[in-house]
A and B are shown apart, each in its own frame.
Chain A
Amino acid sequence: MNLVLVGISHRTAPVEVRERMNIQESRLSAALADLSHRPGIHEGFILSTCNRTELTAGADDEADAAPALRQFIADYHRCDLAPYENYFYWHRQQEVVRHLFRVASSLDSMILGEPQILGQMKQAYAVAREAGALGGALNEVAQQALAVARRVRRETALGAAAMTVSYAAVELAKKIFGSLNGKTVFVIGAGKMSELAAKHLLASGASSIFVSNRTYDRALELAGAFHGTAIRFDEIFDYIDQADIVISSTGAPHFVITRERAERLLAARRNRPIFFVDIAVPRDVDPAINELDNAYVYDIDDLGQVIEANKKQREREAVWAEEIVEQEVERMMRRLASREVAPTIVALEERLRQIRSSELERYHGRLATLTPEQREAVDSLTQGILNKILHGPITELKSGAGNPEQGALVQLVRRIFGVEK
């Protein structure tokens, strides 16, 4: 089995090209059926997201696959491929395996370690299975890509650290409070960003929410959406001591929460920790509050710094992840090679048996005069020659099981003996 992959991604092509080459989800099934029925192609797998479109084909002959893929793309998008030629990358055999494993593990993603790609890959696999486009070596590779991605997720922290402001805030809150269960969130200034942060905090277990806004109606609206309580803007300080996490994003030109306020707040809370997320510019929370024990203040730049550090962490984890991918590629290549051994042996035996019986058939007339004993002798003579010839290649094929070069050996034996699939 030969694997060929062609693709464009955020690494090679700008968004205009990527959207031109995108294959819509609704048409994916039909596209797969078309691709996998092209001459010389047995299997097809298509992954098309906003960051990449990749087509993989499994063919008997590598030479068939590339032109068929090229033709398919030209037909599907009804365009001349020449102007796009430079955006495409091509992979063959082991490179295909490695590429699919890396993509599924989110090592090739725009945001390293982002989790969506695994879901998209799963979906693509399900559609390809459904369309009957998978069933051989490519099926095994695609399936294993999902397993490798899960292993990377389990054994490294590649996807662990937050890459967005709102998730970074949730993560910091967890570093302070442990579990967010039973924690109270206070949103001051109902903006888009604070709404998102509040949503993530609630999804992570925070149990109640207060919302305050200069326009009370907006506070009511947002509080309603979160099943929280709306607070009038001038009553903030009557309620804020109940809050463990304060998200502030007002348009106020001065600090809404001053150091003196915070000191009183901490005393009222009997020094239970409080976390201020200040996403307003100009800032709402006096940064000096961070100097108080049990109070933590993060403004938008601080959160950016955390994300930057998280990014470095992910890059460090990616080194481990690449190592896992390499191990898995090697294992996959061994498996692919050995899955061709048994059919090759059977085909080889069948091929020689055919030669023997057709030759015996040819000499049937001239051997008619032989006595039964002599005929038996001819039978066992020819069978003996056949067995002796088969012995070498079969032993060689079997002993090479699990060897990475075995794929080449299988191809060689097939070619020498003229064994077709």
Chain B
Amino acid sequence: MYTGFITCALALYALGILLILPSVARRRAGLPAAALGALALGLVMHGAALAVLAARVHRLPIIDVRSALSFLAFDLTLAFFLIYLRQRIPSLGIFMLPFVFVLTLAAAVEPGHSFDSAQFRSGWLLAHIASMILGYTGFFITFVAAVMYLIQESELKRKQPRAFYYRLPSLEVCDSLYYRSLVFGLVFLSAGLITGFVSASREWRGPWEYDPKILASLGTWVIYLTLFSTRWAGNWRGRRSAYVAILGFAAILVTFLGASFLSGQHGFFPNLGGTP
């Protein structure tokens, strides 16, 4: 069941991306209904896959790295939809959706043994995981907005418009998307860290404060908090903060993937079926 739904979702996402390409290439004002339809249906299938998984494990369907990635992909597609409805940025799909596709592809592999330890029934831990994923969703959009901003900014500085100049939104649109997703991500990352600390202090034995993943997460949090506060104070804007946002996203990758090699409790490699 799960595999069926997630494969359908994957195929529909691929179709959606293929349908978006020509309309961005041809600079249509909006996305074709077929592309939006394929993505919407993909989203429904993806939701169904997660629901099937939830019914199987009787809780939030985040049981291993794959399902966490699946959840992230679901959130990202949903976010793309909501942003598109408000802002109509077709080119955002070109940047976001291939990543969604890769995440869903990783999730499409049948989850191995879903370990069902008592630990995973803790509400604090689930709140921690869900908040972290929402935070990552926000920061991924911040990252994409920053990349789009940098490309458009360099087009404007070069003064010789090329393909991107015509297809990417204005700097202002990139900037407002950047700022809003930054705030969204920061709220959930903070919530994720707090619930994570509570959960760790209750569940883990031994000193948890020095877990590499926790330290890396704190580092990431500091980066994004700095971005937010400098922007809020008006010191940084535009190119410089876009670079830092990209750095922040790199920090997330390090936190999410890299530190997991070292972390005792968070470790899940080389087996993709480990704890997130």
Contacts and interface: CB of A to CB of B under 8 A. Distances in A.
Interface of A: 155-157, 160-161, 172, 174-179, 270-273, 290, 293-294, 296, 298, 302, 305-306, 309-310, 313, 317, 320
8 contacts: A160-B27, A172-B156, A176-B156, A178-B169, A178-B173, A178-B176, A290-B157, A320-B26
A177 B169 CA distance: 10
A393 to B, nearest CB: 43
A177 B170 contact: yes
B222 to A, nearest CB: 22
> Interface residue tally of chain B, by bracket?
20 to 34
Contact of B237 (A175, A272, A296): A272
B95 interface: no
Contacts of B165: 175, 309
Contacts of B157: 290, 296
Given A160-B27, A271-B234, A273-B238, A296 B166 contact: no
A302 B234 contact: no
A294 B173 CA distance: 15
A306 B159 contact: yes
Given A157-B27, A177-B170, A270 B234 contact: yes
A305 B159 contact: yes
Given A309-B161, A310-B161, A176 B166 contact: no
Nearest to A320: B26
A174 to B, nearest CB: 6
Interface in B223-270: 234-240
Contacts of B166: 157, 160-161, 313
Contacts of A313: 161, 166
Interface in B1-47: 26-28
B152 interface: yes
Contacts of B26: 155-157, 320
A12 B165 CA distance: 36
A404 B171 CA distance: 50
Contacts of B176: 178
Contacts of A172: 156
A353 B41 CA distance: 61
B118 to A, nearest CB: 52
A175 B171 contact: yes
Contacts of B234: 270-271
A320 B23 CA distance: 12
Given A177-B170, A177-B172, A271 B237 contact: yes
Contacts of A310: 161
Given A175-B170, A177-B172, A294-B238, A309 B160 contact: yes
Given A271-B234, A293-B240, A306-B161, A155 B28 contact: yes
Contact of A176 (B27, B172, B236): B172
Interface of B: 26-28, 152, 156-157, 159-162, 165-166, 169-173, 176, 234-240
Given A271-B237, A309-B161, A310-B161, A174 B156 contact: no
A181 to B, nearest CB: 11
Contacts of A302: 159
A271 B235 contact: yes
A405 to B, nearest CB: 33
Contacts of A161: 166
Contacts of A309: 160-162, 165
B159 A179 contact: no
A176 B174 CA distance: 10
A298 B172 contact: no
A19 to B, nearest CB: 37
A176 B240 CA distance: 16
B5 to A, nearest CB: 35
A175 B240 contact: no
Contacts of B161: 306, 309-310, 313
Given A272-B237, A294-B238, A305-B160, 13 more contacts: A155-B26, A157-B166, A172-B156, A175-B156, A176-B170, A177-B171, A178-B171, A270-B237, A290-B157, A293-B240, A294-B237, A306-B161, A320-B26
Contacts of B236: 271
Nearest 7 A-B pairs (CB), nearest first? A178-B172, A270-B234, A271-B237, A178-B170, A157-B27, A309-B161, A302-B159
Contacts of B159: 290, 298, 302, 305-306
Contacts of A179: 172
Contact of B171 (A160, A176, A320): A176
Contacts of B237: 270-273, 293-294
A293 B169 contact: no
Nearest to B239: A293
B160 to A, nearest CB: 6
A290 B155 CA distance: 12
Q: Which of B173, B235, B237 has the most CB of A within 10 A?
A: B237
A214 to B, nearest CB: 29
Contacts of A294: 237-239
Contacts of B173: 178
A290 B153 CA distance: 11
B158 to A, nearest CB: 10
A273 B160 CA distance: 19
Nearest to A179: B172
A161 B157 CA distance: 18
A293 B152 contact: no
A309 B160 CA distance: 7
Contacts of B239: 293-294
Nearest to B231: A271
- Scoring A177, A178, A309, A310 by chain B CB atoms within 10 A of each residue's CB, the highest score goes to A178
A298 B26 CA distance: 27
A305 B155 CA distance: 13
A35 B8 CA distance: 64
Nearest to B162: A309
Nearest to A269: B234
A172 B235 CA distance: 25
B215 to A, nearest CB: 32
B235 A174 contact: no
Nearest to A172: B156
B92 to A, nearest CB: 14
A271 B172 contact: no
Contacts of A157: 26-27, 166
A293 B238 contact: yes
